[in-house]
Amino acid sequence: MRQYTPMIQQYLRVKAEYKDAFLFFRLGDFYELFFEDALKASQELEITLTSRDGGSEERIPMCGVPHHSAAGYIEQLIQKGYKVAICEQTEDPKHAKGVVKREVVQLITPGTVMDGSKLAAKENNFIAAISCIDEHTYGIAYTDLSTGESKVSLLEGDCELLLDELSTIGAKEVVACQEDDEQLLKRIEERSKAVISYEHQCSFEEEFHPILVHITDKKMHAPALRLLHYLKRTQKRSLDHLQPFSIYENSQFLKIDYYSKRNLELTESIRGKGVKGTLLWLLDETATAMGGRLLRQWLDRPLIQRTAIEKRLHLVDIFMKHYFERLDLNELLKSVYDLERLAGRVAFGNANARDLVQLKKSLMQIPAIRELLNGIGDKETVRLSERLDPCEELTDLLERSIVDHPPISVKEGGMIKDGYHEELDKLRDASRNGKDWIAALEKEEREKTGIKSLKVGYNRVFGYYIEVTRANVKFLEEGRYERKQTLTNAERFITPELKEKEALILQADERSIELEYDIFLEIRQIVKTYIPRLQQSAKIISEIDVYQSFATVSETRHYTRPKISETRKLMIENGRHPVVEKVIGSQGYVPNGCIMDEQYEMLLITGPNMSGKSTYMRQIALTAIMAQIGCFVPAEQAELPIFDQIFTRIGAADDLISGQSTFMVEMLEAKNAISNATKNSLILFDEIGRGTSTYDGMALAQAIIEYIHEKIGAKTLFSTHYHELTALEEKLLHLKNIHVSAAEQEGKLVFLHKVKDGPADKSYGIHVAELAELPKDLIERAQEILAELESGEIGQAKPRDQAPNQLNEQLALFEKPETGVNSREKKILKEIENLNLLEMNPLQALNTLFSLQKKVKK
């Protein structure tokens, strides 16, 4: 440290406490970054890298950004997953003895962003803390710092349950203990793309009591306290807007694991990774940001309580039947700003006057919303109305105090209305009178001197002055003015009277700006006391917004109210896949029904590729989810049971990160469903077993079908290309064959997309290949081979120019070597036997296979 200057030593001391963050170090009007921070920031932000003398032999890398435009640069770094520590000057440089005191005033991280253009309006920004209670119990607490929503839960099961939960809430940052399992934290980073932070402090502090008031189980204290300590340490400001932690249990909601949510594209599309093409995209007709966030939460956690589901369906029904009231309500909601995030900004101390104007305008809509809800006359809409709080006193205060169009800055004046504060009015009067005197002086001096271009101006360096062009200086009387500044084309003068008025005006301006800021802080402090009431109204407005959104979508797309079955019956008449229908249009969509009751719990689906098997399976799951979030469903008529879990295995993809093949991923997802499903679950399996040899795959598929049928009894849709499995209908009492039909017309395949009873009679695989425009001679050769196979010569179809010297079957992994092999072959076989395949990733396996092949060829 001694080799560096005192200022650089100060920087290094602060940086040592924030090693995992960029340190924005305030020097005058700039935030500077040094050493590694500078090298990295110059690349990430594309700003100029310079250097400075810091006392050492080598110059220190340095880059910086102006403090007034730093917010944009900080946002860029946060979006890339970095943390930024803001280090400010905490004493006036005029009074500093030596180096100006500096300290970090806030650590901004992906999970603690409070505002900015990159904070998605209709998406929560959750930060979570986790705690490993014991081997099979995890505690999780999370909050959205921008809205104050806070929740806590205990998860009983393996770490997969914790990973699913973090993915469900979309946590941007996860706070853990340094001693937590490194492998688990690595998996959290990979799956959730969350930043990992650490906090060891979990002690109880009295100031946390109001937030922990509902937590009775001490096991939940650990993650909640870890989260609160982290926020207190990093944010260094009031957390009064954090709502008390609400306790929830996973078992209270329909469980859909991470992979199933991805397969069903509930909130993120598989291809584009965006919202377009998802169920959320279809259903979101919300008018407020708050409503959009609540809709996403409802999609993540569908209900399983009949009463709660029926209540939501009832309100959607009411809004559908009151069309004109719904239109008026939508218009009112469009004028409601984000009350939750406005309240958060007020509590955090970074709300400006424009935020308070938005708050006032939002509150002014509540009386009209209440009147509209009461006018509908339903008991549920009346209850919603009664829970809305217009906060009349606050609305009145903001109406009297804040101008309608205030500036963004709170330190430049122009925010407070005339007549609100007596002293401020006097200062403004003095300033205005002084400026009127200045205007009168200019007019008077023009008349007396005869110089029409004479003007009275102002700048921050010289104050007020009289400016005369050089050509007109000769017309001035000697000694009339006192010369102050000479310019190229003009001279500037002052007079004693002008300086006297200048002092009066500037003092009044300066004092009025200071007083305005003080008054604004007082008003903001009063607003802070209303935060709990504002948050309550925000919740109700969010609910109302989602109900009207469901009603709008249901009416526009001709959805129907589902009946909740009491006998586990599933009946869908002319159902549609809601998203596909919106994309291709209702005219081009072929609807399909589905019946699964006590007689048939399992449907075995056959049919050619591209015929619509996967779409049909997905539409059943999406219809069930829509019903359980309280929305009408895309069908002419529907009766649905309440599912407790949904499992899907649709589509195939290697898990390259963990080195797992398509088939291994397929088996792991099948295991997850089989291990956790109950008779009240819904299982969708698409072509299980296709990742291995024909006979292996068929055997596994049949075993899985039989296991689910005999031991679980869950509602199951199982699609397959193994036509031999259709014979199971005769063996399994509750299984039924259905197929997606297609037809041959003039040698071409035409997909009918209609689901019918019974098995498909053909696979049509070669026809699909033809549709994909594979080479004509390849298609003809495939047809020849198919003819040979169908004639009974299975396993004997020969390549055109090659003798049949190899068996057409999968190589057994652990086949014992035959007698008579030579020593070199024995050595290779031994090498194969000793391979640890489960420890290899795909690339290592390929390299090993290549090496063995070279040895065999020798």
Instruction: Tell me what pLDDT residue 812 has.
Output: 47
Q: What pLDDT was estimated at residue 248?
A: 92
Contact between 604 and 737 under an 8 Å Cβ cutoff? The reply is yes
Structure tokens at 230: 């982290």
> Binding site for ATP: which residues?
607-614
What is the residue whose two structure tokens read 């309280």? 630
> Which residues are paired to 647 by β-bridges?
683
Query: In this structure, are strands 645-649 and 102-108 parallel, antiparallel, or unpaired?
Result: unpaired
Look at the alpha carbons of 9, 14, 18, 22 in this order and tell me if their dihedral is positive or negative: negative
pLDDT (mean) for 303-325: 97
Query: How sure is the predictor about 91, in pLDDT bands with cuts at 50, 70 and 90?
Result: confident
In this model, does residue 109 exceed pLDDT 50?
yes
pLDDT tens column, 526-585: 999 999 999 999 999 999 999 999 999 999 999 999 999 988 999 999 999 999 999 988
385's CB contacts (< 8 A; 6+ apart) are 369, 370, 373, 374
- In this prediction, residues 228-248 reach a mean pLDDT of 91
d(CA 287, CA 335): 9
pLDDT in tens, 718-729: 998 888 899 999
End-to-end CA distance of the chain: 64
Mean pLDDT along residues 481-499: 90
813 has pLDDT over 50: no
**C-alpha 748 chain-centroid distance:** 45
CA 130 to chain centre: 19
pLDDT at 700 over 50: yes
Residue 825: phi and psi, rounded to 5, are -65, -40
Q: Which amino acid is at 194?
A: A
Q: Radius of gyration of the chain from Cα atoms? A: 36
- Pick the closest to residue 522 from 410, 375, 414, 631 (CA basis): 410
pLDDT band at 107 (very low <50, low <70, confident <90, very high): very high
The pLDDT tens digits of the residues spanning 413-455 come to 999 999 999 989 888 887 788 888 889 989 999 999 999 999 9
Would you state the pLDDT for residue 655? 42
Whether residue 794 has pLDDT greater than 50: no
- Please identify which residue in the block is written with the tokens 């999970």: 111
Of the candidates 576, 568, 577, the residue with the CA atom closest to the CA atom of residue 601: 568
* pLDDT category of residue 264 using cuts at 50, 70 and 90: very high
CB of 137 closer than 8 Å to CB of 219 = yes
The one-letter code for the residue type at 693 is S
Name the least confident of 353-357, 774-778, 804-808.
804-808
Q: Is the dihedral of CA 470, 476, 477, 481 positive or negative?
A: negative
- With bands split at pLDDT 50, 70 and 90, how would you rate the model's confidence at 843? low
Q: Which pLDDT does position 658 carry in this prediction?
A: 46
Model confidence pLDDT, tens digit, residues 702-713: 999 999 999 999
SS3 for 506-535 is HHHHHHHHHHHHHHHHHHHHHHHCCHHHHH
pLDDT computed for residue 259 by the predictor: 85
Q: Which helix (H) or strand (E) holds 813?
A: none
Q: What integer pLDDT is reported at residue 817 of this predicted model?
A: 47
pLDDT number for residue 97:
82
Bind-site residues: 607-614
What tokens appear for 65 in the block?
């950004």
Q: CA 243 to CA 239: how far, in whole Å?
A: 9
What's the pLDDT at 60?
94
CA distances from 568 to 295, 634, 642 (A): 27, 20, 8
Q: What is the DSSP string of 451-478?
A: -TT-EEEEETTTEEEEEEEGGGGGGSPT
Task: Work out the widest C-alpha separation in the chain, in whole angstroms.
Answer: 127
Which residue, 748, 842, 676, 716, is CA-closest to 255? 676
Q: Note the pLDDT of residue 765.
A: 65
Average model confidence (pLDDT) across the chain: 87
Report how far Cα 813 is from the mean position of its chain's Cα atoms. 44
| Residue 141 burial by Cβ neighbours in a 10 Å radius (0-12, 13-18, 19+) | buried
Q: Give the mean model confidence (pLDDT) for residues 790-806.
A: 47
| Residues 829, 833, 835: CA angle, nearest 5 degrees | 120
* Stronger pLDDT, 765 or 537, i.e. the higher one: 537
Confidence check: pLDDT of 101 > 50: yes
Compare 835 and 521 and report the one with higher pLDDT: 521
Average pLDDT over residues 606-635: 92
The long-range contacts involving 585-592, CB below 8 angstroms and separated by at least 24 positions, are 586/557, 586/558, 590/752, 590/753, 590/754, 591/635, 591/636, 592/616, 592/619, 592/753, 592/754, 592/755
Written as one string, the DSSP assignment of 624-677 is HHHHHTT--BSSSEEEE---SEEEEE-S---BTTTTB-HHHHHHHHHHHHHHH-
Burial of 729 (0-12, 13-18, 19+ CB in 10 A): middle
Which contiguous run of DSSP H or E holds residue 683? strand 682-686
Provide the pLDDT for residue 501. 83
Q: Per-residue pLDDT for 498 more than 90?
A: no
Q: What is the DSSP string of 20-48?
A: TSEEEEEETTEEEEEHHHHHHHHHHHT--
Reported as type and span, the H/E element at residue 369 is helix 366-376
**pLDDT band (50, 70, 90) for residue 479:** confident
In this structure, of 274-278, 320-324, 456-460, 830-834, the range with the lowest mean pLDDT score is 830-834
DSSP E strands, 72-149: 84-89, 102-108, 126-134, 137-144
The mean per-residue pLDDT over the stretch 343-370 comes to: 94
Identify which has the larger pLDDT, 837 or 592.
Answer: 592
Task: Answer for the pair 304, 252: CB distance below 8 angstroms, yes or no.
Answer: yes
* pLDDT at res. 388: 96
Closest by CA position to 301, among listed 153, 446, 462, 432: 153
pLDDT of res. 588: 73
Each residue of 47-68: pLDDT tens digit? 999 999 988 888 999 999 999 8
Helix (H) or strand (E) holding 317: helix 306-321
Q: How far apart are CA 715 and CA 722, in angstroms?
A: 21
Hey, is 458 helix, strand or coil? strand
Q: Which two tokens stand for residue 193?
A: 């793309």
Q: Of 175-179, 331-335, 432-436, 538-542, where does mean pLDDT reach its minimum?
A: 432-436
User: Lowest-confidence range among 201-210, 360-369, 655-664, 842-851?
Assistant: 655-664
Could you give the percent of the chain with pLDDT greater than 70?
90
**pLDDT-based confidence at residue 516 (cuts at 50, 70, 90):** very high
- The residue with greater pLDDT, 611 or 372, is 372
**What average pLDDT does the segment 232-261 reach?**
90
Q: Report which of residues 96 and 513 the model is more confident about.
A: 513
Residue 352, both tokens: 């400006």
Going by pLDDT thresholds of 50, 70 and 90, the confidence category of residue 660 is low
Question: Which ranges of 16-155 does DSSP label H, i.e. alpha helix?
Answer: 35-45, 70-79
Model pLDDT, residue 329: 97
Residue written as token pair 């993540």: 300
23: left (phi over 0), alpha (psi -120 to 50) or beta: beta
